[in-house]
Structure 1
Amino acid sequence: MTDQPSAEAEAPPEAPDPHFEALLEYVKESRGFDFTGYKRSSLVRRVNRQMQIVGIDSYEAYRDYLQVQPDEFTALFNTVLINVTSFFRDADSWAHLRNEVLPDLVARKEHDDIRVWSAGCATGEEAYTLALILAEHLGMDEFRRRVKIYATDVDEEALATARQATFTERDLRGVPRELVEKYFEGAAHRLTFVKELRRSVIFGRNDLVQDAPISHIDLLVCRNTLMYFNAETQATIVGRLHFALENAGVLFLGKAEMLLSHGALFTPIDLKRRFFAKVVSPVRDRGMLVGNHQVENGTSDGDELSRLRQEGMNASPVAQIVIDRDGRTVLSNQRADMLFGLTSREIGRPFQDLDISYRPIDLRTPIGQAVTERRPVWVRDVEWTRGSNTVYLDTQIVPLVDRDGTLLGTSLFFSDVSRYRQLQGELEQAHRQLETAYEELQSTNEELETTNEELQSTVEELETTNEELQSTNEELETMNEELQSMNDELQSSNEELRERTTQFSELNAFMESVLTAMQAGVVVVDRDLQVQVWNARSEELWGLRQEETVGQHLLNLDVGLPVERLRPLIRQVLTDEELPSPLELSAVNRRGRAIDVAVTVSPLRQASVGTTGALIVVSAPG
């Protein structure tokens, strides 16, 4: 009997995107990361997210981008490898490990070494959680002497973080305060796992899909890692985990992983909390229990007894044929006659001359084996097609032996197991459907857990971003207050400057009025003889305005005064010598009239810097 296809055919799976598969192959060939065994739905979602971050909308373009920007691989791996972990994650499961599983494991190992493997350890929180509970159970001295914890992951960046063994208060919020004080050192904002226990935790890179597993493991922790892989890759990894564990070892999985399809390798210890034991010797029984039929050779006690025996044989639901020691057919019941089309003419004929001896299967060899070995021989699952019907038979050949060991003949029993085969086929189909349903349920559960971890990762990123924004906002507030303070100071300085400008303007106006009121021409020069002041009387005398003279060298001015003769007097006052006497000079005013003028040169001094220039006063008749 063959399995019939179900009425509702399953929808064919969506064909993989060849460009996406080519991208995965490129990542595998160039960097050794094999993502082809990951679930496509979550993998596509994570890769698309990274592509969106860098502003690329096609897999071919992203592959080109990876070729020219090798640093992008790190960002891609950090996005795909979701490193969501924490201390004592799912506290109820860790409590069960501490209170129920660990005492039995330690007692079983007595004084031997205990080997623990944390597969997919991410940044190491679960590996250090294992160290905490083992150290608490054994004591620190026994822990250092007996325990080795191997923590592995494919993400080198996460392993580098894990090796530092340094955590913040926020990272340790799931750890009881007494354990933090006992097993962590350092300041409150950065706490480091104690070095004495840290040496027992060994971190290394291991790809569960490609690399050989660590062997002789007593406790294997692989939590929320299998759910990222498809069913085929999961089966490969589960086989390697089975190999890694000791016969009495314990496997501890995440809450989304139930191993429903791997009962031949692991059996649940506590399915709710995801603890499993290794199946050492899987038992696969097949067959039917059929009693041996013993035929005693006896004499007839009369026709009635003979008929009773004959009718009893005919009424048997199992087809039976009896052959004597010479190989002749001596008996057949009604069931055999109907099944093989036997008649009374076959009685007494050699069995090997009958069609039944070689069709549907050659029975001569097993008959010879049963006679020679004096034991029943089974020939199972014989398929026999008659017309449009197919029958499955289990044939038992039983040697008939007298009390003294003499062979009397052979009895052949033909059991019709077609109904059993049909039920077995239906059962296998039901098992396949159930297994498919379990796998779909498991896949859905794992997908939900993956999505949950992605959301948790996003929430943590948003919290970090929010904290950064909060910090930036506080800095901006501080800067704003500083700017406000500076603005107040600038306003105050501006007010002072305005007052001083007013004072300076008033003083300047006063000086200007003084200089204007003087009937003498006044010229002020600096040490380089550059004109600094040129009053109105000087303009009237020599015909040059203030804007034409200020900034010019005194000796370069084209005026009617012989300025060259003033050089010695100016040099004398600039060198702090005695004040020169007034000098009488002949000059020509702006109208061209000859005049006599008296010139007085005086030094301009400041207390801090000394002589800064000279004051020249030219007196002339009005």
Structure 2
Amino acid sequence: MASEEEREFDDLLVLLKETRGFDFTGYKRNTLIRRIARRMETLKLRDYGEYRDLLELEPEEFTRLFDSLLINVTGFFRDTSAWQRLRELVVPALLDQKPTGRPIRVWSAGCATGEEVYTMAMVLAEEMGIDQFRDRVKIYGTDLDDKALQVARTGVYADRTLTDVPIDLRETYFEPLDNGHSFRRDLRRQLIFGRNDLTRDAPISRVDLLLARNTLMYFNTEMQLNIVRRFHFALSDPGFLFLGKAEMLLNHSDKFVPVDLRMRLFRKVRPAHHDDRAPWPVTGTADDLAARPPTLVSVALAAGPVAQIVVDAAGNLALANAKAESLFNLNPRDVGRPFQDLEVSYRPVELRSVIEQARHDLGPVELREVIWHRAGLPERGVFDVSVVPMLASGTLVGVGIHFCDVTRYRTLRTELELANGQLEQAYEQLQSLNEELETTNEELQSTNEELETTNEELQSTNEELETMNEELQSANDELQHINDALTARTIQLDEVNTFVSSVVRSLGDAVVVLDEELRVAVWSSGAEELWGVRADEAMGQALGGLDIGLPLDPLVPRLRAALTDGSDPLQAVDGLVLDAVNRRGRPAPLTVHLSHLRTEDGAVHGLIMVMNVLTS
């Protein structure tokens, strides 16, 4: 559309919103343009400005426009296979998740004239039983079209509309009327119809099943996203969504997961919940720990996995745990001896200077990865040594020495260093491969984006085609009604033609109807038989131009006089006998009778000429 056309089109949408409260800005623009263009073509209007002026002058055109924009194409058990899957997969799950006696709520959004609402009622009543249906079920049908909702509320449908309803269901749930069938009154009370604009009105909440079949496809992408969010809010947890065959929910996997994607059945995604974790129990206080007996402390020290030695302030061995005794060949008799006299003071590492440093600095001294080749053992040991001054009330009372065996970790580190060298070589190869993979990944990403774009375009095209299909179906219904009317009119016309033919045959041997120019308008079968000229040859020809055995010289002036002065045509030919010749060339004297052919207001616009052959 040109910019001026777009502005006029937008002005038209604003007029609809401001004067009638219908906001079509969230609908697909191409569909609106196509439907409005159809109305303009019917009215023979050239542009949107002219159509806007017409709407302001003739308010009744709003109704016809809304009937065109709000395409109410629906039917009972529409897409039978989809309804069958709904009955097999969704309805049993829906009933199982509801405790006995709890209400079941269903919402049909965009219900049009209500056929799918009544279809849903029959499906649930068949599964639950009629009594349970009456006690537990509420079905809400909403639409934007008040005229369609009025049809839905009455629940009366023509026989042709019910052709897709199985005979047993038709007999169970519908009552015959003179003009069609009516849905059962006792079950009709469970169905509630009302107006709802999906683009701005609040959704019906706490519903267990939501039907929106071929409704989303009329909206643009942004509005579809908003409506799907409303649907997600409206559904209970879990709840089910039943869409039309053109609607996929490809970009809403965080809100709905497919139950049967081909049949467009979806289930609401449960919100994630995190279980609360109880805090770790505390079974003791600081006072409890301080009150524990000294024996427990000494046993814990002795059984520790790290070799520990304590040297008192005088430089004597004060304590060695079991691990230290085993590692350095110490025994209880060594307690009290000067530490410098023991082998552990200089092997595996010189500790005497380190102890002095710790005493002097009053801080810990760390020695990392001290290697010790112990006699009689094939493998060397590696230790981390910590020398820590021990203070009591700020006074140095001794020095603690801890030997942590890190042999295993040193071995692992060495192996890791060797492996790391190999990994560095492999890394270079992987780096090269990674660059190739990154290039490939970028190409795949680009391809994926193109595929996603193509998929969205295909989805949009599919929705557009489905919209056009419904428009064609709506037009087909209109044409069917017109065809039925034309068929009835044709039957009436045939009956009239038969009657007229019978009258014409009864008037005389030959009947000819002439217009104001004396051209043949009707040429009876008697005239064909008398003159040998077929009706298709005579129709539209001037009477004087026909090659027949009728003497026209005395007749034509009388005919013109009867048309011109409007006198009694019988007087114009009174007593006139013409010596005619029939198609076989034999004499056929005949009399002529004339009468005027008049319009409804009495004006003469032709003559009826009846000719009877005189018998000898």
TM-score, length-normalised on structure 1? Answer: 0.55
Superposition deviation, residue 189 in structure 1 = 4.3
1:51 is aligned to 40
Find 1:128's aligned residue among 105, 109, 118.
118
The reply on whether 1:221 has 2:291 as its aligned counterpart is no
Find 1:459's aligned residue among 476, 482, 488.
476
In 1, distance between residues paired with 2:229 and 2:120? 23
1:263 is aligned to 253
2:389 is aligned to none
| Change in 2 beyond 3 A, CA 1:211/1:464 | same
Q: Which runs of 5+ in 2 are unaligned?
A: 275-365, 373-379, 383-406, 425-433, 512-616
Partner amino acid, structure 2, of 1:450: T
Superposition deviation, residue 235 in structure 1 = 0.4
2:465 is aligned to 448
Preserved CA contact (<8 Å) 1:124 1:151: yes
In 2, distance between residues paired with 1:86 and 1:40? 26
- Please tell me whether Structure 1 or Structure 2 has the larger radius of gyration of its CA atoms: 1
Alpha-carbon deviations, 1:190-242, whole Å to 9, x = none? 11111111111111000111111000000100000111111111001111001
In 1, distance between residues paired with 2:485 and 2:367? 99
Preserved CA contact (<8 Å) 2:142 2:195: yes
Q: 1:227-376 alignment to 2 at 5 Å? A: 227-281=217-271, 299-301=369-371, 309=413, 312=416
| Change in 2 beyond 3 A, CA 1:426/1:248 | farther
1:23 is aligned to 12
In 2, distance between residues paired with 1:28 and 1:249? 34
Preserved CA contact (<8 Å) 2:232 2:268: yes
Preserved CA contact (<8 Å) 1:252 1:275: yes
Preserved CA contact (<8 Å) 2:5 2:48: no
| Change in 2 beyond 3 A, CA 1:421/1:213 | farther
1:339 is aligned to none
Alpha-carbon deviations, 1:401-457, whole Å to 9, x = none? xxxxxxxxxxxxxxxx99999999888766654443332121111111111111111
Preserved CA contact (<8 Å) 2:157 2:180: yes
In 1, distance between residues paired with 2:27 and 2:452? 21
In 2, distance between residues paired with 1:258 and 1:181? 36
Q: What SS does the aligned partner of 1:121 have?
A: coil
| Change in 2 beyond 3 A, CA 1:127/1:15 | farther
Alpha-carbon deviations, 1:589-619, whole Å to 9, x = none? xxxxxxxxxxxxxxxxxxxxxxxxxxxxxxx
Alpha-carbon deviations, 1:224-268, whole Å to 9, x = none? 011111111100111100110011110000011110111111110
In 1, distance between residues paired with 2:212 and 2:457? 21
Preserved CA contact (<8 Å) 2:27 2:219: yes
2:495 is aligned to 478
Q: What SS does the aligned partner of 2:198 have?
A: coil
Partner amino acid, structure 2, of 1:219: L
| Change in 2 beyond 3 A, CA 1:65/1:94 | same
1:163 is aligned to 153
Superposition deviation, residue 100 in structure 1 = 2.3
| Change in 2 beyond 3 A, CA 1:146/1:420 | farther
Superposition deviation, residue 269 in structure 1 = 0.6
| Change in 2 beyond 3 A, CA 1:308/1:99 | closer
Q: What SS does the aligned partner of 1:149 have?
A: strand
In 1, distance between residues paired with 2:166 and 2:435? 64
1:436 is aligned to 453
Q: What SS does the aligned partner of 1:186 have?
A: strand
Q: What SS does the aligned partner of 2:163 have?
A: coil
| Change in 2 beyond 3 A, CA 1:436/1:464 | same
In 1, distance between residues paired with 2:22 and 2:108? 20
Q: What SS does the aligned partner of 1:262 have?
A: coil
In 1, distance between residues paired with 2:444 and 2:102? 46
In 2, distance between residues paired with 1:35 and 1:116? 26
Partner amino acid, structure 2, of 1:204: G
Superposition deviation, residue 309 in structure 1 = 3.8
Q: What SS does the aligned partner of 2:467 have?
A: helix
- Count of residues paired in the alignment: 377
Q: What SS does the aligned partner of 1:38 have?
A: coil
The reply on whether 1:112 has 2:102 as its aligned counterpart is yes
In 2, distance between residues paired with 1:241 and 1:16? 35
| Change in 2 beyond 3 A, CA 1:253/1:263 | same
Find 2:78's aligned residue among 55, 79, 89.
89
Preserved CA contact (<8 Å) 1:264 1:282: no
RMSD of Structure 2 on Structure 1 (CA): 3.8
Alpha-carbon deviations, 1:329-372, whole Å to 9, x = none? xxxx9xxxxxxxxxxxxxxxxxxxxxxxxxxxxxxxxxxxxxxx
Partner amino acid, structure 2, of 1:146: R
Partner amino acid, structure 2, of 1:89: R
1:205 is aligned to 195
Q: Which runs of 5+ in 1 are unaligned?
A: 1-12, 285-295, 318-332, 334-416, 495-622
The reply on whether 1:144 has 2:134 as its aligned counterpart is yes
| Change in 2 beyond 3 A, CA 1:300/1:437 | farther
Q: 1:176-187 alignment to 2 at 5 Å? A: 176-187=166-177
In 2, distance between residues paired with 1:37 and 1:97? 30
Partner amino acid, structure 2, of 1:442: Q
Q: What SS does the aligned partner of 1:173 have?
A: helix
Superposition deviation, residue 300 in structure 1 = 3.6
Superposition deviation, residue 82 in structure 1 = 0.9
Q: Percent identity?
A: 49
Structure 1 window deviating more from structure 2 (479-488 vs 139-148): it is 479-488
Partner amino acid, structure 1, of 2:83: W
| Change in 2 beyond 3 A, CA 1:96/1:15 | farther
Preserved CA contact (<8 Å) 1:261 1:435: no
Partner amino acid, structure 2, of 1:56: L
In 2, distance between residues paired with 1:297 and 1:137? 81
Partner amino acid, structure 2, of 1:50: R
Q: 1:394-543 alignment to 2 at 5 Å? A: 432-484=449-501
In 1, distance between residues paired with 2:437 and 2:370? 38
Partner amino acid, structure 2, of 1:224: N
Partner amino acid, structure 1, of 2:489: T
Partner amino acid, structure 1, of 2:250: L
Superposition deviation, residue 57 in structure 1 = 1.4
| Change in 2 beyond 3 A, CA 1:136/1:424 | same
Find 1:100's aligned residue among 82, 86, 89.
89
Superposition deviation, residue 479 in structure 1 = 3.0
In 2, distance between residues paired with 1:488 and 1:105? 74
Q: What SS does the aligned partner of 1:202 have?
A: strand
In 2, distance between residues paired with 1:169 and 1:81? 24
Superposition deviation, residue 480 in structure 1 = 3.1
Partner amino acid, structure 2, of 1:301: I
Superposition deviation, residue 84 in structure 1 = 0.6
Partner amino acid, structure 2, of 1:78: D
Q: 1:61-72 alignment to 2 at 5 Å? A: 61-72=50-61
Preserved CA contact (<8 Å) 1:260 1:438: no
Preserved CA contact (<8 Å) 1:87 1:174: yes
Q: What SS does the aligned partner of 2:26 have?
A: coil
Preserved CA contact (<8 Å) 1:118 1:222: yes
Superposition deviation, residue 282 in structure 1 = 5.8
| Change in 2 beyond 3 A, CA 1:145/1:425 | farther
TM-score, length-normalised on structure 2? Answer: 0.55
Q: What SS does the aligned partner of 2:177 have?
A: coil
